[in-house]
């Protein structure tokens, strides 16, 4: 009979392994945070630099906090908050319009049986094959005839046309996973299609809607090509076009550009963190009964 001897220090070994495993995870997370946050840190450092420090030699790694007073001069000379407000109008309009249209289209393609449903899905998919630069000239002619040039609503319509199919497929994938028996029970109780969509389907696909909202918001927030072509008034520029106006052939004020870029990046980061909470809460709500 063979005797199996169990090491007496096995619990201690497991504790040491778990401790090193936790330290390794903490080190990896710290490294990822530093790697992801360094561009924001460098924008902050550059915005606090002077032209002498930026162009006269190597830029210091530590931000020159004593130069924070120059931010007031930047804000006095640059209508950055007006540009950010324009970007928010475009991004919010694109997000709302895209989600409304994408939700209805996704529900129709997922639940209704009609001839041409596959063709309709293919047409939505084929819109992603066309780059923006390819249709910017004919779109300019259409918007000129419709009076949508030099208007934020024209940019909202153009961005929605590109991002709505993507949002539709994301939301449709969430609707496809919902058992159809739930909707049948609601129909027996007298619920209309619209009420089923708003009170039953939408809460269950909230993670998909949150993910689609992030894509739609970023598409509108980062709008540049259409805005640079369709908007001629500097008062209506979004922040992306306003930032590009500082780029010159012989001179570019990098501290000004990085200060505006930092303000331009913060709202997008805040929106992503807010939408991420919606994704997590939607997943949690969907995993609990009753």
Tell me which range, 56-65, 231-240, 248-257, is most confidently predicted by mean pLDDT: 231-240
Q: Which residues contact 232 (CB under 8 A, 6 or more apart)?
A: 149, 150
Section 125-146 average pLDDT: 86
Element of type H or E holding 274? helix 254-286
Q: How many angstroms separate the CA atoms of 265 and 37, rounded?
A: 12
pLDDT > 70: what percent of the chain?
87
Q: What is the DSSP-derived secondary structure letter of residue 201?
A: I
Task: Compare 34 and 60 and report the one with higher pLDDT.
Answer: 34
Residue 142, CA distances (Å) to 45, 94, 231, 244 in order: 44, 19, 15, 26
Contact 125, 165 (CB under 8 A): yes
- Mean pLDDT calculated for residue range 235-264: 86
Helix crossing, 70-77 with 254-286: angle to 10°?
90
Residue 32's contacts (CB-CB under 8 Å, 6 or more residues apart) are none
What pLDDT is recorded for position 288?
41
How far apart CA 169 and CA 124 sit, in angstroms, is: 9
Distance between the two ends of the chain, CA-based, in angstroms? 55
> What pTM did the predictor assign?
0.81
Whether residue 215 has pLDDT greater than 70 = yes
């Amino acid at each position: 009979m063979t005797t199996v001897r169990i090491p007496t220090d096995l619990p201690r070994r497991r504790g040491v392994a778990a401790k090193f495993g936790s330290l390794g995870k903490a080190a990896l997370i710290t490294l990822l945070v530093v790697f992801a946050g360094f561009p924001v840190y460098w924008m902050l450092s550059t915005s606090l630099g002077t032209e002498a420090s930026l162009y006269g030699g190597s830029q210091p790694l530590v931000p020159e906090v004593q130069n924070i007073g120059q931010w007031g001069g930047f804000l006095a000379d640059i209508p950055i908050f007006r540009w950010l407000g324009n970007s928010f109008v475009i991004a919010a309009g694109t997000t709302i319009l895209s989600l409304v249209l994408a939700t209805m289209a996704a529900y129709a393609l997922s639940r209704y049986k009609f001839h041409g449903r596959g063709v309709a899905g293919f047409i939505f998919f084929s819109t992603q094959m066309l780059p923006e630069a390819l249709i910017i000239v004919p779109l300019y002619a259409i918007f000129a005839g419709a009076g949508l040039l030099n208007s934020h609503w024209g940019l909202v319509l153009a961005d929605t046309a590109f991002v709505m199919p993507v949002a539709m497929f994301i939301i449709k994938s969430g609707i496809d996973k919902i058992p159809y028996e739930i909707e049948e029970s609601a129909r027996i109780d007298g619920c209309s299609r619209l009420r089923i969509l708003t009170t039953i389907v939408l809460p269950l696909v909230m993670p998909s809607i949150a993910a689609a909202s992030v894509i739609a918001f970023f598409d509108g927030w980062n709008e540049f090509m259409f805005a640079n072509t369709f908007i001629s008034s500097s008062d209506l520029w979004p922040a992306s076009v306003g930032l590009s106006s500082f780029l010159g052939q012989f001179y570019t004020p990098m501290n000004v550009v990085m200060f505006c870029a930092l303000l331009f990046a913060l709202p997008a980061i805040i929106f992503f963190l807010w939408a991420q909470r919606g994704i997590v809460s939607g997943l949690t709500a969907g995993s609990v009964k009753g």
